[in-house]
Homo-oligomer: A and B are copies of this chain.
Amino acid sequence: MNKQKRTVFYLSDRTGITAETLGHSLLTQFDGIEWETINVPFLDDLEKTKTVLMQINQAAESDGYRPLVFSTLLKPEILEVIKQGNCRVYDFFETFTRPVEEELHRLSARKAGRSHGLQHHPAYFKRIDAINYVLAHDDGINPRNFAEADIILTGVSRCGKTPTCLYLGLQYGIAAANYPLTPDDMTVMQIPKVLENVKSKLFGLTLTPEQLHFIRQERRPNSEYASLAQCQREIQWQESLFRQFNIAYLDTTRISIEEISAIILNRCGLKRQLYG
């Protein structure tokens, strides 16, 4: 069956992150539609808005369905222009601002750029410090500083340690180190010596041998390193190790970096907050 093809617009005064997050999480709940996505961030003047209006009407015509528009537009005059288009508009501020105003008994400021626009506060520097920490403690570098880590991810090569650490640092300001488990470690059922004093901070990442094989094939095709047999040996060994030493671990095979990060923070009881 051919999928229905429709267009979705994400419109915003600023980055568009909020509009896209909202729209995406709603649209993933609907199957059988192929979405063409058009992002228009920084939509703050009427000239530009008229161009977008034309795009919307063109999409309606060529799709045969009117586009969906998810927006976070603080200027009513811009929202009004968009509403003239052949589209269905879901404006996030329009929907929720009044109900929140009622509850708080005060008026919203209706100013753009507040959500993703702050820099000079401690949380910003915490994030930058965390990223620097992650970069300085990637792949087992500087293990003598591991005592300062909030968390230390461990696992075999290509199990996702580095992207997860970067995400934890960048989004949550978490000082995340990582330490690789290598075939050399596999001669004994023992955690590497350098990790013994920081065992309580360890968190293991694992995945299916098939997925690891697939990922390693991309990197070094047809090597011993990438062979399914080697992947099976490494995964079996590391999962036994995690269980024997009571190290919490997570199978990341079917989940995204965002989910892996949120699950780790949740399990380790680390305070998690996207916006400081």
Write the residues of chain A forming the contact surface with B, with a CB cutoff of 8 angstroms: 6, 14-18, 20-22, 24-33, 37, 39, 41-42, 68, 72, 88, 90, 92-93, 95-97, 99-100, 103-104, 106, 108-111, 113-120, 124-125, 127-128, 131, 135, 138, 162-163, 166-167, 170, 218, 252-259, 261-263, 266, 272-275
Contacts and interface: CB of A to CB of B under 8 A. Distances in A.
Contacts of A257: 127, 170
A31 B125 CA distance: 23
Contacts of A113: 255, 259
B258 A127 contact: no
A24 B275 contact: yes
B162 A262 contact: no
Contacts of A124: 256
B31 A109 contact: yes
A15 B259 contact: yes
Report the 6 A-B pairs with minimum CB-CB distance, sorted nearest first: A25-B115, A15-B262, A28-B114, A29-B108, A116-B258, A18-B25
A163 B260 CA distance: 21
Contact of A115 (B28, B37, B252, B261): B28
A119 B29 contact: no
Given A21-B22, A32-B106, A255 B117 contact: yes
A100 B150 CA distance: 41
Contacts of A92: 22, 25-26
Contacts of A21: 17-18, 21-22, 115, 274
Contacts of A104: 6, 30, 33
A22 B96 contact: yes
A117 B256 contact: yes
Contact of A30 (B27, B31, B106): B106
Contact of A274 (B17, B170, B274): B17
Nearest to A129: B218
Contacts of A218: 125
Contacts of A68: 100, 103
A29 B114 contact: yes
Residue from the set A37, A108, A255, A258 with the largest chain B CB neighbour count within 10 Å: A258
B100 A20 contact: no
A222 B26 CA distance: 52
A25 B162 contact: no
B119 A256 contact: yes
16 contacts: A14-B262, A15-B259, A25-B92, A26-B97, A29-B93, A29-B109, A39-B272, A41-B266, A41-B272, A68-B103, A88-B103, A95-B95, A117-B255, A118-B256, A119-B254, A170-B170
